[in-house]
Amino acid sequence: GDSVTQMEGPVTLSEEACLTINCTYTATGYPSLFWYVQYPGEGLQLLLKATKADDKGSNKGFEATYRKETTSFHLEKGSVQVSDSAVYFCALSDPAGGSEKLVFGKGMKLTVNP
C-alpha cells in the first residue's frame, strides 16, 4: 500500500539555521504530495503542496520539490524562526488508491531556539 517515510526527530535548531526534513513515498499511482504543520495546541494546517513531477510548492519561506525519480518531497527553509517551532507532517493523496484519503508520515517535531 501507499506509505510515507519522513525524518522523525525531534530536532532542535537555533534561529536562522537551515532546515531540511526528508520525506520519501511509495505509491501505486501518481500522488499529490503535501506538507502539513501543527503548531502547539492546534490542528493541522496545509503548509504547501505539489501535484505533479518537478512542481515546487512554497509558503512562508518553506519549499519542497516533487521529485518523481527519487520519490521524494523534502521540505527546506533557509533560515528558521522561533515561530516555526511545530510538528511537520509529510503526506500523500493517491487517486489510484480509489479514495480521497491522506496517508501521513509519522511527523517531526521542530524546536527553534532564539
Partner 1 sequence: DVKVTQSSRYLVKRTGEKVFLECVQDMDHENMFWYRQDPGLGLRLIYFSYDVKMKEKGDIPEGYSVSREKKERFSLILESASTNQTSMYLCASKNGRALHFGGYTFGSGTRLTVV
- Binding flag, residue 104, partner 1 (CB under 8 A): yes
**Cα–Cα distance, 92 to 111 (Å, whole number):** 24
The CA-based dihedral angle spanning residues 80, 21, 53, 1, taken in that order and rounded to the nearest 10 degrees: -150
Considering only residues 10 through 39, tell me which ones interact with partner 1, judged by CB under 8 A. Answer: 31-32, 34, 36
Given candidates 19, 44, 86, 110, which one binds partner 1 under the rule CB under 8 A? 44
- Binding flag, residue 83, partner 1 (CB under 8 A): no
The one-letter amino acid at 53:
A
**Cα–Cα distance, 2 to 11 (Å, whole number):** 26
Given candidates 45, 64, 69, 112, which one binds partner 1 under the rule CB under 8 A? 45
- Binding flag, residue 46, partner 1 (CB under 8 A): yes
CA-CA-CA-CA torsion sign (48, 55, 89, 27) = positive
* Residues at the site binding partner 1, with contacts judged by CB under 8 A: 8, 31-32, 34, 36, 41-46, 49, 51, 89, 93-95, 99-102, 104-107
